[in-house]
Each structure stands twice: as structure tokens, then as C-alpha cells.
Amino acid sequence: MDRIRFQRAVRWLGVLLAAVLAVPTQPAAAQEFTPGSAGLGDPFFPLAGNGGYDVGHYSLAFSYDPATRVLDGTATLTATATQNLSRFDLDLRGFDIERLTVNGSAASYTREGQELVITPSAGLPAGAVFRVVVGYSGVPEVITDPDESIEGFVPTDDGAFVVGEPQGSPGWYPANDNPRDKATYDFTVTVPAGITVMANGVLAARTTAGGRTTFVWRNTSPMAPYLATATLGRFDLTQYTLPSGIPSYVAVDPTLPTGNVLRKLPDMVEFYTSIYGPYPFEAVGAVVDDAPEVGYSLETQTKPVFYRMPDEATLAHEISHMWYGDSVTLTEWPDMWLHEGFATWSEWIWSEHLGRKSAHNWFKTLYNTPPQQTAFWTPPPGDPGSAEFLFNGTIYYRGAMTLQALREKIGDGDFFEILRRWAAEHRYGNVRTPQFVALAEQVSGMQLDHFFDVWLYQPEKPTSW
């Protein structure tokens, strides 16, 4: 279709639509408007996320002063109603609400635990795009997880280490905090001059006036709320462009001992691109902070955050998560092995690629663990049982062993095709384990129910598969 004809067709379509719309519809009173659900029913975090709408974009603007630890912000969410909504929730923990509007009109609200329950002045019809503005301020609450790790907007001696997996994001911004509701983001963060803010995406602006610096970051690829960050503090920021044209931002806390490991980041991106397919995002990088009180690193989208200078395996692990975890994301948290098994196996294949210990030998070493060491073998990776075991070693190691066992059962050709197709067919999407099993069976032409049952769901050491 050429352009002129296309425009004419569009014009006629417009006339037709206007005619259809002119036909009187049901009176508004006949339509039911009901509240969106307070959660999305995740088995581990049933209240995380909310029903009745889908967020398209978050615009987060706030100031933060490490001296007072006060965050003062305005979050603007653009969302689409997925039902006729009389009321809906956002997830937010702590903070005073200073202003709340929906489509420019003041909305009433109540607080119930992590739920910010919002009643707009008029119902929101299904399909309507609406805008929520939340003005909020306070000292962010640090959140303790079921496994006793901490997350959220965690203060450090020079700023904050900001991580949200699995439920830390409502500790610093109002969110539909469920991995299923991906959105684009921009961040406008003002801090005392001398502090650097590292958020997701591309650095769009950095301006200093009156002793304060404002950083603007834009994340244009879909992102799950838990992968957002705005880690800030004293950082040496190095910017460069990868050979593929992707901008890279590497920030290092200057109090940390330097090393060579971060120089390997471009090679890692290139290697994983060669086996997993195109790098999924508009930027890459790393944020290396000094946050021993947090004690873990996280694959925040486009630039993972590290609580200390990472070793090579940890850097490889977090970079590989850009494909598996960030771009291809679980639908429900019990499927965590789809993130951690893949990232741990990615460490092994990086090692194999460099001619060091092969993935086969990593598998062999771990497989030698006796069955009596039940803490190594249980809970099985496909069924952590409770949120307390979400980050258990089995999810990582037995998850990775599952992939290596699959590789050895079906051969490299089919195995790598499965990995590439998994990344391509679910790019920016959400997945469940049965979809992976189905893809593996489709590509290999083999019946793999028994294989995956033994490796993912049986609580003891696999012996035949």
C-alpha cells in the first residue's frame, strides 16, 4: 500500500468510525464500575501488583538528601484501565501523601498496609488511558524480605543503594509492583552537587545549579517495576560506547579498590549476544557501590548494581540476566529458576568460553554432592515451596544443572537454538516453566516430561533422567 492511498483509506475509516460512534450507546448508568483487585494473586506475594489497569509509563521525579534521608517526590503514572474501574490500588510503603490526582482532579485515598487505595472522582471506563499523579515525601522504609535480606531505598554512608527484588520498589515509588506489568520509565532526580544518580536507561541530562545536580535518565524498553533503580552516592562515572553502538555507563564508588574485572563487560555483552541473540536494551553498564549492609547484587535493568567490586563470575551472571530475567521475565515468583538457573549456567558457559572450567565440569563437581546433603538438593528449583527459599542455592545451582543436563541430553545444536528462541520469542514478555518445557520438546522432538519432572520438581538428588 502506498502512502497516499493509505491516507485516503485512513480518512474514509475515520468517516465510518464517526458514523458508528454517532449511534447512541447504552446510557452510562447501565455500565458497572467495580474496584480493581488489591493484588494479582502471586503464590508468594499475593498483594504485589493490582488488578484493573496496566501501567504504560512511570515518570518519577524526586529529590533526595543523604544528610536527612528525606525523599520528596512526584510520581506520574500513565495507565490504561482494563475494566470499568470505580477504584484501584497502587503499591506504596510509608511516606506522607501530599497530593493525589487522577486525570487532573483530586482523588480520595486510603492506606491499608502496602496498598494505596485510590478512588477517582469519576469512574474510569475500560480501555481509557488515565494519569495518576502522586506527590509524596518521607524517609524511605527499608523492607525486610521473607529470607531476611533487605531491599528498597537502602541508605549508604554517601547515598542509597536501590534494589527492588522481589518487593522493594514500593519502598521508594508508587507502583503496580508485579513483574507482569512492564512499563517504560523516566527519572528526574535532584541531589546535592557531588552526588551521582545512576538510574535505568540512557543519561539524557545532567545539570547543576545552586549547589544541586539534577540527573535525567530515560528507560525506553519495557521494564518490570522491581528492576528499577536510582542508586546514588559518590561515584566515578565512565561512559563509552560498545562496538555495537550501545552506550555503556560504569559507575564505581571511589573508595573501593580498583580492579580489571569491569573491563570485561564489553566482551561479556558480545559473547552473550553471540549465543543468546541481540542485546535487548538501549544501554548497558554497572553500578559498583560499597553497601556491605545489603550484601547482594542485582540485575537492575540496563545496569546491574553491585554491593562491592564484583568478581568475574558475578559480573557475567548479572549481565546475562539482561536476557533472562530482565527481558524474559517470570510471570510468578515460584518460577525463579528461569532467572537464576539461567544466570548461573551463564557463568559456567562464560568460563567454558574462556577455556577455563567447562559447564560440564561445573555440573560434575556439583553432581558429586551426596544425596544425604539434602540442603544442597532441596527444595527443587521448580518448586521453592515458600518465599523464604526464593533465593535458595538450589534455585541457582540445581537450576543451572537442569540446563546443563538438558544440553547433554539433546545436544548443543538444539540446546542453543532453544536458548535463542526463548530470548527472541519472549523478548520483553513474561513466561512460565511449562512454556520452556514445551519449547524444549518442540525443538528437540523429544518427550521431556520425565526429564523436567526429575530435575525441577522432585525433592531428592536426580539419579536417572
Beta strand spans in 247-338 (E):
247-252, 284-288, 305-306, 329-330
Q: How far is the CB of 316 from Zn ion (least distance, A)?
A: 11
Query: Which stretch in 54-62, 336-344, 362-370, 444-452 sits in contact with Zn ion by CB under 5 A?
Result: 336-344
Contacts of 164 (CB under 8 A, 6+ apart): 151, 152, 171, 172, 177, 225, 226, 227, 228, 229, 298, 300
Q: Is 349 exposed, middle or buried (0-12, 13-18, 19+ CB in 10 A)?
A: buried
* Residue 343 or 349 with smaller CB distance to Zn ion: 343
Contact present, 92 and 60 (Cβ < 8 Å)? no
Q: How far is the CB of 320 from Zn ion (least distance, A)?
A: 8
Q: How far is the CB of 395 from Zn ion (least distance, A)?
A: 9
Contact present, 335 and 433 (Cβ < 8 Å)? yes
Cis, peptide link before residue 166, omega less than 30° from 0:
yes
Give the C-alpha separation, 314 to 349, whole Å. Answer: 13
Residue nearest Zn ion by beta-carbon distance = 343
Cell matching residue 93: 510503603
Q: Which of residues 402-421 bind Zn ion (CB under 5 A)?
A: none
Query: Which stretch in 65-73, 121-129, 281-289, 335-343 sits in contact with Zn ion by CB under 5 A?
Result: 335-343
Give the C-alpha separation, 130 to 97, whole Å. Answer: 19
Cell matching residue 43: 503464590
Query: Which stretch in 106-114, 144-152, 332-340, 399-407 sits in contact with Zn ion by CB under 5 A?
Result: 332-340
E strand or H helix at 162: strand 160-163
Query: Which stretch in 167-175, 206-214, 339-347, 407-415 sits in contact with Zn ion by CB under 5 A?
Result: 339-347
- Residue entry with cell 548443543: 412
Q: Does residue 343 bind Zn ion (CB under 5 A)?
A: yes
* Residue 346 or 444 with smaller CB distance to Zn ion: 346
Query: Which stretch in 44-52, 71-79, 302-310, 342-350 sits in contact with Zn ion by CB under 5 A?
Result: 342-350
* Residue 124 or 343 with smaller CB distance to Zn ion: 343
Q: By CB under 5 A, how many residues form the interface with Zn ion?
A: 2
Q: How far is the CB of 326 from Zn ion (least distance, A)?
A: 10
Q: How far is the CB of 341 from Zn ion (least distance, A)?
A: 9
* Residue 115 or 332 with smaller CB distance to Zn ion: 332
Q: How far is the CB of 343 from Zn ion (least distance, A)?
A: 4
Q: Which residues bind Zn ion (CB under 5 A)?
A: 340, 343
